[in-house]
Amino acid sequence: MNEITHAVIRMKAGVLAFVFALLGGFSLFIMTVLLLLKGGQNVGYHLNLLSNFYWGYEVTWFGSIVGFFYGALTGWAIGWIIGVIYNFIVTSRNPQS
Amino acid sequence: MFNGIEKNTPDSNIIIGAGPAGLTAGYELSKLGQKSTILEADKLVGGISRTVNYNGYRFDIGGHRFFSKVPYVNELWNEILDGQFLERSRLSRIHYHNHFFDYPLKISNALVGLGPVESFLVGLSYAKSKFSPTDEEKTFEQWISNRFGTRLFNIFFKNYTEKVWGIPCNEISADWAAQRIKNLSLSEAIRNAFVSNGTTKSGEKITSLIDKFHYPNLGPGMMWEACEGILNDFGSPTLKQQFVNRIFHKNGRVSHILTKNTRNEATEYSGSNFISTMPLKELIFSLDPAPPDEILKAAKLLRYRDYLTVVLMIDRPHVFPDNWIYIHTPEVKMGRIQNYKNWSPDMVPDSSKTSLGLEYFLWEKDEEWTWEDSRLIELGINECAALNLIQKNEVLEGTVVRMKKAYPVYDSNYHHCVELLRQYMGTFENLQTIGRNGLHRYNNQDHSMLTGVYAARNTEQLEYDVWAVNTEQEYHETDKATAKTGDRLVPTKIPEETPADGFNLEKKLKEQLKLIDSFAMGSAVGLVSGFLLFFATILLIIKSGQQNNPTLALLSNFLPGYKDTLPGALIGLFEVGIGSFSIAYLISSLMNWTFTLYLSIIKRNSEIEENKTILDKV
Ligand SMILES: Cc1cc2nc3c(=O)[nH]c(=O)nc-3n(C[C@H](O)[C@H](O)[C@H](O)COP(=O)(O)OP(=O)(O)OC[C@H]3O[C@@H](n4cnc5c(N)ncnc54)[C@H](O)[C@@H]3O)c2cc1C
Residue to mutate, B24, B44, B48, B343, ligand 1, most ligand atoms under 8 Å from C-beta: B48
pLDDT, tens digit, 9 for 90 and up, residues B55-87: 999 999 989 999 888 999 999 999 999 988 999
Q: Which of the pair, B436 or B413, is modelled with greater confidence?
A: B436
Closest CA to B223 of B380, B395, B344, B348: B344
Average pLDDT over residues B132-152: 85
Measure B443 CA to nearest chain A CA, in Å: 33
Closest CA to B241 of B45, B50, B40: B40
pLDDT at residue B498, rounded to an integer = 40
Ligand 1: does its nearest atom lie under 6 Å from the Cβ of B357? Answer: no
Ligand 1: does its nearest atom lie under 6 Å from the Cβ of B435? Answer: yes
Residue to mutate, B223, B244, B277, ligand 1, most ligand atoms under 8 Å from C-beta: B277
- B178 contact partners, CB below 8 Å, separation of at least 6: B143, B500, B501, B503
DSSP letters of A66-85?
Answer: HHHHHHHHHHHHHHHHHHHH
Give me the domains of chain B, ranges plus CATH numbers.
11-84+213-302+412-486 (3.50.50.60), 304-408 (3.90.660.20), 518-604 (no CATH)
- The confidence band for B545, taking pLDDT boundaries of 50, 70 and 90, is low
Q: Which of the pair, B505 or A86, is modelled with greater confidence?
A: A86
Paired sense of beta strands A7-8 and B36-39, if any: unpaired
A78 touching B (Cβ < 8 Å) = yes
Fill in the DSSP letter of residue A60. S
Q: How far apart are CA B437 and CA B421, in angstroms?
A: 13
Tell me: pLDDT of B205 over 60: no
Average pLDDT over residues B118-137: 87
Closest CA to B156 of B140, B138, B139: B140
Task: Report chain B's mean pLDDT, rounded to a whole number.
Answer: 85
Average pLDDT over residues B284-295: 97
Helix (H, G, I), strand (E, B) or coil at B288: strand
A97 touching B (Cβ < 8 Å) = no
pLDDT at residue B210, rounded to an integer = 59
Tell me: pLDDT of A95 over 60: yes
Percent over 70 (pLDDT), chain B: 83
Average pLDDT over residues B462-490: 56
Average pLDDT over residues B555-571: 86
Find the closest chain A residue to B542 by CA distance. A52
Residues of A in contact with B544 (CB under 8 A): 52
- The confidence band for B495, taking pLDDT boundaries of 50, 70 and 90, is low
Q: Which of the pair, B474 or B177, is modelled with greater confidence?
A: B177
Burial label, A97 (beta-carbon count in 10 A; 0-12, 13-18, 19+): exposed
Ligand 1: does its nearest atom lie under 6 Å from the Cβ of B307? Answer: yes
A89 touching B (Cβ < 8 Å) = yes
Tell me: pLDDT of B605 over 80: no
Q: How far apart are CA B93 and CA B473, in angstroms?
A: 31
What pTM was computed for the model? 0.71
Residue A61 CA to chain centroid, in angstroms?
21
Find the closest chain A residue to B523 by CA distance. A86
Q: How far apart are CA A24 and CA A80, in angstroms?
A: 13
Ligand 1: does its nearest atom lie under 6 Å from the Cβ of B49? Answer: yes
What is the ipTM metric for this complex? 0.80
- B194 contact partners, CB below 8 Å, separation of at least 6: none
DSSP letters of B289-305?
Answer: SPPPHHHHHHHHT--EE
Give the strand order in the sheet containing B243-250.
B5-8, B266-270, B253-260, B243-250, B287-288
- B496 contact partners, CB below 8 Å, separation of at least 6: none
Q: How far apart are CA B359 and CA B62, in angstroms?
A: 7
Average pLDDT over residues B585-603: 85
Q: How far apart are CA B71 and CA B67, in angstroms?
A: 10
Reported as half-sphere exposure (CB side, CA atoms, 13 A), residue B200 has a value of: 7
pLDDT at residue B512, rounded to an integer = 60
Find the closest chain B residue to A91 by CA distance. B520
Residue B574 CA to chain centroid, in angstroms?
60
Tell me: pLDDT of B129 over 60: yes
A31 touching B (Cβ < 8 Å) = no
Q: What count of residues does chain A have?
A: 97
- Lowest-pLDDT range of B90-94, B195-199, B210-214, B422-426: B195-199
Tell me: pLDDT of B502 over 50: no
Average pLDDT over residues B412-435: 93
Ligand 1: does its nearest atom lie under 6 Å from the Cβ of B380? Answer: no
Cα distances (angstroms) measured from residue B226 to each of B316, B340, B374: 31, 20, 33
Run of H or E including B366: none
CB contact under 8 A, B520 and A49: no
Tell me: pLDDT of B425 over 70: yes
Q: Which of A49, A83, A87 sits opposite B551 (nearest CB)?
A: A49
Residues of B in contact with A83 (CB under 8 A): 524
Q: Give the B window 553-612 contacts with A, CB below 8 Å.
A: 596-597, 599-600, 603-604
CB contact under 8 A, A52 and B540: yes
pLDDT, tens digit, 9 for 90 and up, residues B158-200: 998 899 888 888 887 776 666 554 444 445 555 555 544 444 4
Percent over 90 (pLDDT), chain B: 57
> How is chain A split into domains, by residue range?
12-92
- The confidence band for B492, taking pLDDT boundaries of 50, 70 and 90, is low
Tell whether omega for the bond before B289 is within 30 degrees of 0, i.e. cis. Answer: yes
Output the CA B486–ligand 1 centroid distance in Å: 14
Average pLDDT over residues B256-282: 95
A37 touching B (Cβ < 8 Å) = no
**Residue whose CA is at the smallest distance from ligand 1 atom 2:** B62
